[in-house]
Structure 1
Protein backbone atom coordinates (compact mmCIF):
# COMPACT_ATOMS: atom_id res chain seq x y z
CA UNK A 1 0.00 0.00 0.00
CA UNK A 2 1.33 3.44 -0.98
CA UNK A 3 0.69 6.45 1.30
CA UNK A 4 -0.07 9.77 -0.31
CA UNK A 5 1.11 13.06 1.20
CA UNK A 6 -2.46 13.78 2.27
CA UNK A 7 -2.71 10.48 4.10
CA UNK A 8 0.57 11.14 5.93
CA UNK A 9 -0.59 14.64 6.88
CA UNK A 10 -3.94 13.32 8.11
CA UNK A 11 -2.23 10.61 10.17
CA UNK A 12 0.09 13.20 11.73
CA UNK A 13 -2.82 15.48 12.61
CA UNK A 14 -4.71 12.59 14.15
CA UNK A 15 -1.75 11.74 16.37
CA UNK A 16 -1.37 15.35 17.40
CA UNK A 17 -5.04 15.50 18.30
CA UNK A 18 -4.74 12.36 20.43
CA UNK A 19 -1.90 13.79 22.47
CA UNK A 20 -3.92 17.00 23.04
CA UNK A 21 -6.98 15.02 24.12
CA UNK A 22 -4.94 12.94 26.53
CA UNK A 23 -3.66 16.12 28.14
CA UNK A 24 -0.04 15.32 27.52
CA UNK A 25 2.37 17.88 26.33
CA UNK A 26 5.95 17.58 25.42
CA UNK A 27 8.60 20.22 25.69
CA UNK A 28 11.60 20.28 23.48
CA UNK A 29 14.66 22.23 24.40
CA UNK A 30 15.72 24.82 21.87
CA UNK A 31 19.05 26.54 21.61
CA UNK A 32 19.14 30.20 22.67
CA UNK A 33 17.90 32.60 19.99
CA UNK A 34 20.36 34.89 18.30
CA UNK A 35 19.94 38.66 18.45
CA UNK A 36 18.79 38.70 14.82
CA UNK A 37 16.13 36.06 15.52
CA UNK A 38 14.91 37.93 18.60
CA UNK A 39 14.69 41.18 16.64
CA UNK A 40 12.76 39.47 13.85
CA UNK A 41 10.34 37.89 16.37
CA UNK A 42 9.74 41.26 18.03
CA UNK A 43 9.04 42.86 14.65
CA UNK A 44 6.40 40.23 13.89
CA UNK A 45 4.59 40.61 17.24
CA UNK A 46 4.54 44.43 17.21
CA UNK A 47 1.10 45.84 16.46
CA UNK A 48 0.77 47.43 13.04
CA UNK A 49 0.64 51.20 12.87
CA UNK A 50 -2.82 52.69 12.37
CA UNK A 51 -3.74 53.67 8.86
CA UNK A 52 -3.17 57.38 8.16
CA UNK A 53 -6.89 57.82 7.48
CA UNK A 54 -7.67 56.46 10.98
CA UNK A 55 -5.92 59.40 12.66
CA UNK A 56 -8.20 62.35 13.16
CA UNK A 57 -7.02 65.71 14.40
CA UNK A 58 -9.03 67.84 16.81
CA UNK A 59 -9.73 70.26 13.95
CA UNK A 60 -11.25 67.41 11.92
CA UNK A 61 -13.43 66.31 14.84
CA UNK A 62 -14.65 69.84 15.65
CA UNK A 63 -17.74 70.30 13.49
CA UNK A 64 -18.80 73.65 14.94
CA UNK A 65 -18.97 76.71 12.72
CA UNK A 66 -17.09 79.98 13.36
CA UNK A 67 -20.46 81.58 14.18
CA UNK A 68 -21.21 78.93 16.79
CA UNK A 69 -17.76 79.42 18.37
CA UNK A 70 -18.27 83.20 18.45
CA UNK A 71 -21.70 82.82 20.09
CA UNK A 72 -20.32 80.41 22.69
CA UNK A 73 -17.51 82.82 23.57
CA UNK A 74 -19.83 85.78 24.27
CA UNK A 75 -20.22 87.03 27.84
CA UNK A 76 -23.43 86.06 29.62
CA UNK A 77 -26.39 88.36 29.05
CA UNK A 78 -28.48 87.33 32.06
CA UNK A 79 -27.91 86.50 35.70
CA UNK A 80 -26.36 83.14 36.34
CA UNK A 81 -26.37 80.70 39.22
CA UNK A 82 -22.96 79.32 40.20
CA UNK A 83 -23.32 75.55 40.58
CA UNK A 84 -19.77 74.81 41.70
CA UNK A 85 -16.40 73.65 40.45
CA UNK A 86 -15.47 70.39 38.82
CA UNK A 87 -12.44 68.61 37.48
CA UNK A 88 -13.04 68.16 33.78
CA UNK A 89 -11.73 65.92 31.04
CA UNK A 90 -12.36 65.57 27.33
CA UNK A 91 -15.69 63.93 26.62
CA UNK A 92 -16.56 61.92 23.51
CA UNK A 93 -15.01 63.92 20.65
CA UNK A 94 -17.53 62.43 18.21
CA UNK A 95 -20.37 64.29 20.00
CA UNK A 96 -20.45 67.71 18.39
CA UNK A 97 -21.49 71.01 19.89
CA UNK A 98 -20.77 72.85 23.12
CA UNK A 99 -21.74 70.81 26.19
CA UNK A 100 -20.56 69.58 29.57
CA UNK A 101 -21.74 66.38 31.25
CA UNK A 102 -21.59 67.01 34.97
CA UNK A 103 -22.99 65.62 38.22
CA UNK A 104 -23.85 69.23 39.20
CA UNK A 105 -27.14 69.11 37.24
CA UNK A 106 -30.08 66.70 37.28
CA UNK A 107 -31.68 67.84 34.01
CA UNK A 108 -30.43 69.46 30.80
CA UNK A 109 -30.07 73.23 31.00
CA UNK A 110 -28.20 76.13 29.42
CA UNK A 111 -25.14 77.42 31.17
CA UNK A 112 -21.53 78.43 30.99
CA UNK A 113 -18.19 76.98 31.98
CA UNK A 114 -15.23 79.14 33.00
CA UNK A 115 -11.55 78.31 33.14
CA UNK A 116 -10.43 80.31 36.21
CA UNK A 117 -6.77 79.94 35.17
CA UNK A 118 -7.34 82.01 32.01
CA UNK A 119 -10.71 83.68 32.57
CA UNK A 120 -12.00 82.27 29.28
CA UNK A 121 -15.56 80.98 29.20
CA UNK A 122 -17.90 79.08 26.91
CA UNK A 123 -21.68 78.91 26.74
CA UNK A 124 -22.63 75.25 26.86
CA UNK A 125 -25.52 72.89 27.30
CA UNK A 126 -25.35 71.43 30.80
CA UNK A 127 -26.09 67.71 30.69
CA UNK A 128 -26.43 65.32 33.63
CA UNK A 129 -23.53 62.90 33.95
CA UNK A 130 -24.95 59.39 33.88
CA UNK A 131 -23.26 56.34 35.30
CA UNK A 132 -21.87 58.03 38.41
CA UNK A 133 -18.59 59.76 38.87
CA UNK A 134 -17.54 63.05 40.38
CA UNK A 135 -15.73 64.72 37.49
CA UNK A 136 -17.19 66.22 34.35
CA UNK A 137 -16.78 65.59 30.63
CA UNK A 138 -16.47 68.54 28.26
CA UNK A 139 -16.95 68.64 24.50
CA UNK A 140 -13.93 69.10 22.27
CA UNK A 141 -15.00 72.52 20.91
CA UNK A 142 -15.70 73.83 24.42
CA UNK A 143 -12.27 72.78 25.70
CA UNK A 144 -10.63 74.40 22.69
CA UNK A 145 -12.57 77.61 23.26
CA UNK A 146 -11.33 77.66 26.86
CA UNK A 147 -7.76 77.17 25.65
CA UNK A 148 -7.35 73.95 27.61
CA UNK A 149 -5.03 71.21 26.30
CA UNK A 150 -7.11 68.16 25.38
CA UNK A 151 -5.16 65.90 27.75
CA UNK A 152 -5.39 68.27 30.75
CA UNK A 153 -7.67 67.85 33.76
CA UNK A 154 -8.58 71.47 34.53
CA UNK A 155 -10.76 72.65 37.37
CA UNK A 156 -13.68 74.54 35.82
CA UNK A 157 -16.44 76.68 37.27
CA UNK A 158 -19.97 75.79 36.16
CA UNK A 159 -22.87 78.25 35.95
CA UNK A 160 -26.54 77.75 35.03
CA UNK A 161 -28.22 80.50 32.95
Structure 2
Protein backbone atom coordinates (compact mmCIF):
# COMPACT_ATOMS: atom_id res chain seq x y z
CA UNK A 1 0.00 0.00 0.00
CA UNK A 2 2.82 2.42 0.80
CA UNK A 3 4.47 2.06 -2.65
CA UNK A 4 1.10 2.89 -4.26
CA UNK A 5 0.74 5.97 -2.07
CA UNK A 6 4.28 7.06 -2.95
CA UNK A 7 3.56 6.53 -6.65
CA UNK A 8 0.36 8.58 -6.38
CA UNK A 9 2.23 11.33 -4.53
CA UNK A 10 4.91 11.36 -7.22
CA UNK A 11 2.28 11.59 -9.98
CA UNK A 12 0.55 14.50 -8.25
CA UNK A 13 3.87 16.27 -7.84
CA UNK A 14 4.70 15.74 -11.51
CA UNK A 15 1.27 17.05 -12.54
CA UNK A 16 1.79 20.20 -10.48
CA UNK A 17 5.19 20.74 -12.09
CA UNK A 18 3.72 20.26 -15.58
CA UNK A 19 0.91 22.70 -14.87
CA UNK A 20 3.37 25.29 -13.60
CA UNK A 21 5.63 24.77 -16.62
CA UNK A 22 2.70 25.22 -19.01
CA UNK A 23 1.33 28.30 -17.24
CA UNK A 24 1.21 31.39 -19.47
CA UNK A 25 4.11 33.79 -19.17
CA UNK A 26 3.48 37.04 -17.32
CA UNK A 27 6.00 38.94 -19.48
CA UNK A 28 4.79 42.27 -20.92
CA UNK A 29 3.54 42.18 -24.50
CA UNK A 30 5.97 43.49 -27.13
CA UNK A 31 5.24 47.01 -28.42
CA UNK A 32 5.35 45.94 -32.08
CA UNK A 33 3.75 42.72 -33.29
CA UNK A 34 6.31 40.18 -34.40
CA UNK A 35 5.70 37.50 -37.00
CA UNK A 36 5.24 34.29 -35.04
CA UNK A 37 4.74 30.75 -36.29
CA UNK A 38 1.17 29.47 -36.19
CA UNK A 39 0.45 27.48 -33.05
CA UNK A 40 -2.50 25.28 -32.20
CA UNK A 41 -5.10 27.20 -30.24
CA UNK A 42 -5.12 26.23 -26.57
CA UNK A 43 -8.29 26.64 -24.61
CA UNK A 44 -8.47 29.65 -22.33
CA UNK A 45 -7.82 28.93 -18.68
CA UNK A 46 -11.00 28.27 -16.71
CA UNK A 47 -12.49 31.13 -14.73
CA UNK A 48 -11.71 31.10 -11.02
CA UNK A 49 -14.24 28.99 -9.16
CA UNK A 50 -15.61 27.29 -12.29
CA UNK A 51 -17.43 24.05 -11.50
CA UNK A 52 -16.73 20.71 -13.15
CA UNK A 53 -20.17 20.88 -14.73
CA UNK A 54 -19.41 24.31 -16.23
CA UNK A 55 -16.09 23.06 -17.64
CA UNK A 56 -17.63 19.91 -19.16
CA UNK A 57 -18.60 21.09 -22.66
CA UNK A 58 -19.55 17.67 -24.03
CA UNK A 59 -23.09 17.33 -25.35
CA UNK A 60 -25.59 14.75 -24.09
CA UNK A 61 -25.19 12.96 -27.46
CA UNK A 62 -21.39 12.78 -27.06
CA UNK A 63 -21.76 11.42 -23.52
CA UNK A 64 -24.30 8.80 -24.66
CA UNK A 65 -22.06 7.66 -27.53
CA UNK A 66 -19.02 7.47 -25.24
CA UNK A 67 -20.76 5.21 -22.75
CA UNK A 68 -22.32 2.74 -25.21
CA UNK A 69 -21.40 -0.90 -24.69
CA UNK A 70 -17.99 -1.64 -26.25
CA UNK A 71 -17.49 -3.95 -29.22
CA UNK A 72 -14.46 -5.93 -28.02
CA UNK A 73 -14.02 -7.86 -31.30
CA UNK A 74 -11.93 -5.08 -32.88
CA UNK A 75 -10.21 -3.87 -29.73
CA UNK A 76 -6.61 -4.33 -28.66
CA UNK A 77 -5.75 -4.19 -24.94
CA UNK A 78 -2.77 -1.85 -24.54
CA UNK A 79 -2.26 -2.12 -20.79
CA UNK A 80 -3.11 -0.34 -17.57
CA UNK A 81 -2.25 3.14 -16.38
CA UNK A 82 -2.81 5.38 -13.39
CA UNK A 83 -4.62 8.52 -14.51
CA UNK A 84 -4.94 11.96 -13.01
CA UNK A 85 -7.08 14.87 -14.10
CA UNK A 86 -5.71 16.58 -17.21
CA UNK A 87 -6.20 20.23 -18.20
CA UNK A 88 -9.80 20.96 -17.15
CA UNK A 89 -10.31 23.55 -19.88
CA UNK A 90 -9.19 21.17 -22.67
CA UNK A 91 -12.56 20.06 -24.10
CA UNK A 92 -13.64 16.63 -25.21
CA UNK A 93 -13.16 13.03 -24.21
CA UNK A 94 -9.47 12.09 -24.24
CA UNK A 95 -6.59 10.51 -22.34
CA UNK A 96 -2.92 11.38 -22.79
CA UNK A 97 -0.98 8.19 -22.18
CA UNK A 98 2.43 6.66 -22.88
CA UNK A 99 0.60 3.53 -24.10
CA UNK A 100 0.15 5.01 -27.62
CA UNK A 101 2.52 6.67 -30.12
CA UNK A 102 -0.12 8.43 -32.22
CA UNK A 103 -3.63 9.79 -31.83
CA UNK A 104 -6.24 7.06 -32.20
CA UNK A 105 -9.69 6.13 -30.96
CA UNK A 106 -10.08 3.77 -28.04
CA UNK A 107 -11.64 3.11 -24.69
CA UNK A 108 -10.72 3.09 -21.01
CA UNK A 109 -12.26 0.90 -18.33
CA UNK A 110 -12.22 1.10 -14.54
CA UNK A 111 -11.78 -1.88 -12.22
CA UNK A 112 -15.54 -1.70 -11.54
CA UNK A 113 -16.28 -2.19 -15.26
CA UNK A 114 -17.34 1.36 -16.20
CA UNK A 115 -15.94 2.35 -19.57
CA UNK A 116 -15.75 5.37 -21.84
CA UNK A 117 -14.87 5.61 -25.53
CA UNK A 118 -12.44 8.45 -26.11
CA UNK A 119 -9.45 9.74 -28.04
CA UNK A 120 -6.11 8.19 -27.07
CA UNK A 121 -3.34 10.79 -27.29
CA UNK A 122 0.38 10.11 -26.86
CA UNK A 123 1.81 11.74 -23.75
CA UNK A 124 5.43 11.35 -24.78
CA UNK A 125 6.17 10.00 -21.31
CA UNK A 126 8.10 6.89 -20.44
CA UNK A 127 6.24 3.61 -20.03
CA UNK A 128 4.68 3.49 -16.58
CA UNK A 129 4.78 7.27 -16.12
CA UNK A 130 1.01 7.61 -15.78
CA UNK A 131 -1.63 9.37 -17.84
CA UNK A 132 -3.86 12.43 -17.79
CA UNK A 133 -7.56 12.13 -18.59
CA UNK A 134 -10.13 14.77 -19.48
CA UNK A 135 -12.59 16.10 -16.95
CA UNK A 136 -15.64 14.91 -18.98
CA UNK A 137 -14.17 11.38 -19.19
CA UNK A 138 -13.58 11.26 -15.44
CA UNK A 139 -17.16 12.37 -14.83
CA UNK A 140 -18.54 9.67 -17.16
CA UNK A 141 -16.43 7.05 -15.37
CA UNK A 142 -17.89 8.21 -12.05
CA UNK A 143 -14.43 8.96 -10.69
CA UNK A 144 -13.80 11.83 -8.28
CA UNK A 145 -11.65 14.51 -9.90
CA UNK A 146 -9.02 14.12 -7.16
CA UNK A 147 -8.79 10.31 -7.53
CA UNK A 148 -5.99 8.47 -9.31
CA UNK A 149 -7.88 5.56 -10.88
CA UNK A 150 -6.18 2.58 -12.47
CA UNK A 151 -7.57 2.28 -16.00
CA UNK A 152 -7.28 -0.43 -18.60
CA UNK A 153 -6.69 1.13 -22.03
CA UNK A 154 -7.95 -0.36 -25.30
CA UNK A 155 -7.31 0.75 -28.89
CA UNK A 156 -10.00 0.37 -31.52
Q: TM-score range by the shorter chain?
A: 0.5 to 0.7
What's the counterpart of residue 135 of structure 1? 130
Distance in structure 1 (CA, Å) of the matches to 2:123 and 2:79: 15
> Which has more radius of gyration?
1
* Structure 1 segment 99-118 matched on structure 2, within 5 A: 99-116=94-111, 118=112
Query: Which one has a larger percent helix, Structure 1 or Structure 2?
Result: 1
* Structure 1 segment 81-92 matched on structure 2, within 5 A: 81-92=76-87
Distance in structure 2 (CA, Å) of the matches to 1:154 and 1:119: 12
What's the counterpart of residue 43 of structure 2? none
Compute the displacement of 1:86 (Å): 0.2
Runs (4+) of structure 1 exceeding 6 A deviation are none
Quickly say closer, same or farther: Cα 1:130–1:157, change in 2 above 3 A.
same
Structure 1 gap ranges (5+): 1-52
Stretch of structure 1 that moved more, 91-100 or 128-137: 128-137
What's the counterpart of residue 32 of structure 2? none
What's the counterpart of residue 66 of structure 1? 60
Structure 2 gap ranges (5+): 1-46
TM-score (norm 2): 0.66
